[in-house]
Amino acid sequence: MEGLAMLGQLIGQLQDLLQLHGSPPPPPPPSHFRLLHPHLHPGDYHRRWCLHNIDDTPADDYYSLVMAAGKSGSCKMLEPFEPPGPPPSKKSRKGRNQEKLHGSTAIPEAEVMEQDIWKEFPEDLLEAVIARLPIASFFRFRSVCRKWNSLLESQSFSQRCAEIPQGNTWFYAFTHDNVDSGTMYYDPSMRKWHHPAYRPTKMIALPVASAGGLVCFLDIGHRKFYVCNPLTRSFKELPTGSVKVWSRIAVGMTLSGNSTTGGYKVMWVGRDGEYEVYDSVKNSWSRPGSMPSNIKVPLSLNFLSQAVSVDNTLCFMRSDPEGIVSYNMDTGVCKQFIIPAPLHLSDHSLAECKGRIMLVGLLTKNAATCACIWELQKMTLLWKEVDRMPNVWCLEFYGKHVRMTCSGNEGLLMLQMRSRQMNRLVTYNVMSREWLKVPGCVVPRGRKQQRVACCIAFNPCLTATA
């Protein structure tokens, strides 16, 4: 009893001390706090700051309270106690990634698709949606089911694709390291390389021309021509023509209509002015005529420059004299245009953008080298410079012996700049006048960056057939 009396006296002194030196109760909380905690009574806010009535509480309970206050040096508000759980265990990286994946892909129960509704989705609407997918996404979605995988064989799906304007230009490329084992595609819109497992032929054949989603190949012995759609594996070996083995030729390709359904034509031109035209509708080569007498032979063709097509007319670059030789695939009329080249020009190639004929080449003066773009003025038949590579990039070529090759289609060009010390790929958009560096190409499961040996531009098309 004596101990209880001393405890009661101590508690009374503690209460007096708190009344003299303690802080007053805080003001009522703001209205937004009461909205967030509607379960609390207004008097509860003040009880959290006041001691309980010791007259109604057993002394043993308050003994533990006073001892805790004495050890800590101050009397603090005691919060509800929760027993500690087990210490967190360190999770593996795989486990953390799985948690992130499940957390990010969790779909609310109300948003889950109901199969009874989606299985009745109209087929024509589904094909219209899939036909508008990016090319790379379409080939990923083909693995969803057999029905989607067979869409390329559907006539209705082909019609849907034909109604949609052709997408961005891609580039079909070979590298020095895999020229006999595989190919690569570069998508400039995504700035990404794709590595298909398909090759058009087991022989070493290089891309020489393209039109309407098809690419024409010529084997290194110049004996065989092949035409294929690199995306769908539609493949055709053309009949043997009269081209001489190992002779240097320039090759061009055009469509007979708006798409490959109307057929296509392939033309080769030799140094001595001989040429042949292949018609896919007739599946045969023909010699429509011979070069006019006013065209000087030998042609001295620029074999580094690819032929360009403008309004179904193929244009080939020649030298001595500098100019262009054109051939209309519909009328069979061949013409020559004498166009002097800019001074200090080397490694030049033809390009085309919406009916405009462009010239791409290297300007080298003293030790400085720069890539420039010209446009042909139809009234004066002179080249007018319209753009050149940024000076900061050109500084990298200073004092180096640089060579360049160019491939392009519909205003998008890929320039390959190479020397002993470097190998650069750059794209140029004629309409936006934008220069972009192409990211390095690394084959799957490889680390070594590949060096592009040759490439050609083509319009990716799912419905083009050889």
Beta bridge partners of 403: 418
Q: Tell me, what's the pLDDT at 85? A: 52
Using one digit for the tens of pLDDT, what is the confidence trace for 340-350? 999 999 999 99
385-398: pLDDT as tens digits: 999 999 999 888 88
First to last CA, the chain: 109
Mean pLDDT (whole number) for 245-270: 85
398 versus 9: the higher-pLDDT residue is 398
| pLDDT of the residue at 14 | 52
More confident residue, 208 or 65: 208
Residue with tokens 């393209």: 210
So what's the pLDDT on residue 182? 55
Query: pLDDT tier at 26 (50, 70, 90 boundaries)?
Result: low
Which of the four pLDDT bands, split at 50, 70 and 90, describes residue 15? low
pLDDT (mean) for 412-418: 91
Q: What would the pLDDT profile of 422-442 be if each residue is shown by its tens digit?
A: 888 999 999 999 999 998 877
- 451-466 pLDDT, tens digit each: 777 889 998 888 888 8
Q: Where are the domains of the chain?
A: 121-161, 168-456
Long-range pairs of 150-158 with CB within 8 A, sequence gap ≥ 24: 151/127, 152/232, 152/462, 152/463, 154/127, 156/124, 156/127, 157/127, 157/130, 157/131, 158/462, 158/463
- Residues 345-374 have a mean pLDDT of 92
pLDDT per residue over 88-104, tens digit each?
A: 555 565 566 555 545 54
Element holding 68 (H helix, E strand):
helix 59-72
Q: Cα separation of 302 and 45, whole Å?
A: 91
**Are the C-beta atoms of residues 174 and 206 closer than 8 Å to each other?**
yes
Whether residue 291 is predicted with pLDDT greater than 90 in this model: the reply is no
Question: How high is the pLDDT of residue 28?
Answer: 58
Q: pLDDT at residue 257 above 70?
A: yes
CB 388 within 8 A of CB 406: no
Q: CATH for 168-456?
A: 2.120.10.80
Q: How is residue 123 written in tokens?
A: 């087929």
Judge whether residue 200 has pLDDT over 90.
no
Q: What is the percent of the chain with per-residue pLDDT over 70, rounded to a whole number?
A: 69
Q: In a 3-state reduction of DSSP, which class is residue 13?
A: helix
Q: Which of 179-188, 304-313, 325-334 has the lowest mean pLDDT?
A: 179-188
Cα distances from 257 to residues 160, 282, 394, 441, 461, in angstroms, run 18, 15, 42, 35, 15
Q: Is the full-model pTM beyond 0.75?
A: no
Confidence of residue 87 (pLDDT cuts 50, 70, 90): low
- Token pair for residue 460? 């990716």
At residue 273, the pLDDT reads: 85
**pLDDT at res. 78:** 36
Q: So what's the pLDDT on residue 71?
A: 42
pLDDT higher than threshold 60 for residue 107:
no
Rounded mean pLDDT of the chain? 76
pLDDT at 133: 81
Assess contact for 451 and 175: CB atoms under 8 A: yes
Q: Tell me the pLDDT band of 203, cut-offs 50, 70 and 90.
A: low
Q: What pLDDT sits at residue 57?
A: 47
pLDDT of residue 175: 74
